[in-house]
Amino acid sequence: MTTAYNPVTPEIVRELQQIVGERNVIYGDPEQLEKYSHDEVADRHYAHTPEAVVRPISAQEIAAIMRLANRALIPVTPRGAGSGLSGGAVPAHGGIVLSVERMNKILEIDPGNMMITVESGIVTNQINTVLEEYGLFYAGYPMSLETCYIGGNVAENAGGGKAIKYGVTDRYIHGLEVVLPTGEIIELGGKRVKDVTGYNLLHLMVGSEGTLGIFSKVTLKLLPIPKSKVDLLVLFKGFQEAMDIVPVIMTQTGIIPTAIEFMDKLSVQTTCQYLNEHLPYEEAGAMLLIEVDGASEAQVESQYEAIGELCLERGAMEVYVADNYTTQERVWKVRRNIAEAFKVYSPVQSAEDIVVPFAQIPDLLRDVDLLAKKHGILIPNFGHAGDGNLHATPIKPPDMTIEKWDEILPMLLEELYIATDKYGGTISGEHGIGSKRKKYLSLVLQPEVIELMKRIKATFDPNNILNPGKIFPETPDAVPTDV
């Protein structure tokens, strides 16, 4: 899997310009290139400046770029909005960044089949904006919907807060147009909702982190917009009480909430301070934010009443009902701003998205607390309780030196991931492996499984041209080719 790549020469640049037009190639402009050197991973150790950026407008242009890259042995890293959290869109080996930013058209809205087809560079939230008048929506969107691109969502199989009821990205991807690493353009799936024609390459592409193909078109399954929704903010003494109730809600009431989000005391207090907001009972040990939606107000009312009563019976300190937009926004704003708030508190941190079977979250939280104490750092806990997906975020205390932090973090992450594995979990529920977690992959996957994945990669990409240096542990870290 190690390849000696060639640099992007002025001749290559001219060829790229012929494919996408002169103004769609960035080259020799350090300031512009720098913008494509990183994603949202805070640690700039994972950043790497590309030698050139190309901005194609069609699958045909992407295919021509890939054929050129194979011929010249130059790595290509596909890029959406750059909002990823694992280094997936970073050109770890230099070479070309292929940005889909110009491919942002809505190609077809088909309300009769409840499907939409878009280009991969569209901002995810725009899909829902145009769908509103049809009474339909795309339910697979992640928390970053206002900045991310759908193509990146597909590449990472992005998750989000509504997975418990609606699943994540992959449930809604019914069709893809993909440019293979070797330059062929293929169609997978379509507007049908069942398909068992050969192997499921469609869902092999979803979550492949830009290493098996570049998406040019995406066909998404839509759902009717719920007519009503209500949020409950439920306060508990501690996280054990909060988490114990999660499966009980579903089995006892028969209701699958849209979201069950979890926030610990540290997260709530830090975020309220950051937002200058006050939530009731900020001193509660843990909060659940439970959303229910449905086809009528009456249905939603009976649902939230059943859940609220159950929570109180089972020892919740208080249940607040947010049944209008303003109040709902107030509580969700706290949840959404936790990461931001901690960035202000201390920008040096490691955004994590470990996932365990949800009943094991209390066990995991106890281990996380011990780890934070052992290493003298902060680890606020928040995330998607209904999915067992925890954003345990190690944060450097403001008074700790960066050298100390750099020494601690790799050990801490390894211990955190080992704990996650011990409880039947894995190291990433929605952010992906990318470059950030590749050295930890073998903690959770058998060597035989990693070997199979590597062979699949080689099957699709014999020259290892597409997004090298990601996912697989032994791939070397960034090797500068821009001499």
Residue list 403-432, contact with a copy of itself (CB under 8 A): 424-432
Rule CB under 8 A: choose which of 441, 465, 466, 478 binds a copy of itself. Answer: 441
The residue behind tokens 């200058």 is: 276
Smallest separation, CB 464 to a copy of itself (Å): 15
C-beta closer to a copy of itself: residue 35 or 191: 191
Window 341-370: residues binding a copy of itself (CB under 8 A)? 355-360
Residues in contact with a copy of itself, shown as a per-residue x/- string from 453 to 482 under the rule CB under 8 A: x-xxx-xx----------x-----------
Q: Are 319 and 288 in contact (CB under 8 A)?
A: no
Rule CB under 8 A: choose which of 16, 96, 139, 212 binds a copy of itself. Answer: 212
Window 149-208: residues binding a copy of itself (CB under 8 A)? 156-157, 159, 163-164, 167-168, 170-171, 180, 184, 186-188, 190-201, 203-204, 206-208
**Is position 63 an interface residue for a copy of itself (rule: CB under 8 A)?**
no
**For residues 95 and 274, what is the distance between their CA atoms, to the nearest angstrom?**
40
Both tokens of residue 166?
A: 């609606």
Furthest CA-CA distance within the chain: 72
Rule CB under 8 A: choose which of 252, 327, 328, 346 binds a copy of itself. Answer: 252
3-state secondary structure at position 100 = coil
**Is position 133 an interface residue for a copy of itself (rule: CB under 8 A)?**
no
Rule CB under 8 A: choose which of 303, 381, 435, 467 binds a copy of itself. Answer: 303
Give rounded-to-5 percent helix, strand, coil for the chain: 40, 20, 40
C-beta closer to a copy of itself: residue 63 or 379: 63
Rule CB under 8 A: choose which of 130, 225, 266, 479 binds a copy of itself. Answer: 225
Smallest separation, CB 381 to a copy of itself (Å): 16
Contacts of 156 (CB under 8 A, 6+ apart): 84, 86, 88, 169, 207, 209, 430, 431, 432
Rule CB under 8 A: choose which of 312, 344, 370, 449 binds a copy of itself. Answer: 449
Tell me which stretch binds a copy of itself (CB under 8 A): 61-69, 119-127, 141-149, 301-309: 301-309
Tell me which stretch binds a copy of itself (CB under 8 A): 61-69, 72-80, 111-119, 367-375: 111-119
**For residues 319 and 321, what is the distance between their CA atoms, to the nearest angstrom?**
7
**Is position 255 an interface residue for a copy of itself (rule: CB under 8 A)?**
yes
CA distances from 397 to 366, 372, 380 (A): 20, 11, 12
C-beta closer to a copy of itself: residue 6 or 252: 252
**Is position 258 an interface residue for a copy of itself (rule: CB under 8 A)?**
no
Contacts of residues 312-315 at CB distance under 8 Å and 24 or more positions apart, as own/partner, are 314/241, 314/244, 314/245, 314/248, 315/236, 315/237, 315/241
Smallest separation, CB 272 to a copy of itself (Å): 28
C-beta closer to a copy of itself: residue 247 or 397: 247
**Is position 59 an interface residue for a copy of itself (rule: CB under 8 A)?**
no
**For residues 140 and 168, what is the distance between their CA atoms, to the nearest angstrom?**
5
**Is position 333 an interface residue for a copy of itself (rule: CB under 8 A)?**
no
Q: Are 454 and 481 in contact (CB under 8 A)?
A: no
Smallest separation, CB 95 to a copy of itself (Å): 22
- Per DSSP, the residues of 277-299 read ---TTTTSSEEEEEEEEESSHHH
- Per DSSP, the residues of 294-327 read ESSHHHHHHHHHHHHHHHHHTT-SEEEEE-SHHH
> What's the alpha-carbon Rg for the chain, to the nearest Å?
23
**For residues 114 and 426, what is the distance between their CA atoms, to the nearest angstrom?**
34
C-beta closer to a copy of itself: residue 15 or 244: 244
DSSP bridge pairs for 220: 116, 173
CA distances from 135 to 129, 145, 227 (A): 11, 19, 9
C-beta closer to a copy of itself: residue 357 or 410: 357
Tell me which stretch binds a copy of itself (CB under 8 A): 48-56, 249-257, 263-271, 274-282: 249-257
Smallest separation, CB 215 to a copy of itself (Å): 15
Window 375-394: residues binding a copy of itself (CB under 8 A)? 384, 387-389
Which uninterrupted H or E stretch holds 438? none
Smallest separation, CB 190 to a copy of itself (Å): 5
Tell me which stretch binds a copy of itself (CB under 8 A): 40-48, 74-82, 139-147, 296-304: 296-304
Q: How many residues bind a copy of itself (CB under 8 A)?
A: 97
C-beta closer to a copy of itself: residue 16 or 145: 145
Rule CB under 8 A: choose which of 107, 298, 344, 411 binds a copy of itself. Answer: 298
**For residues 450 and 442, what is the distance between their CA atoms, to the nearest angstrom?**
8
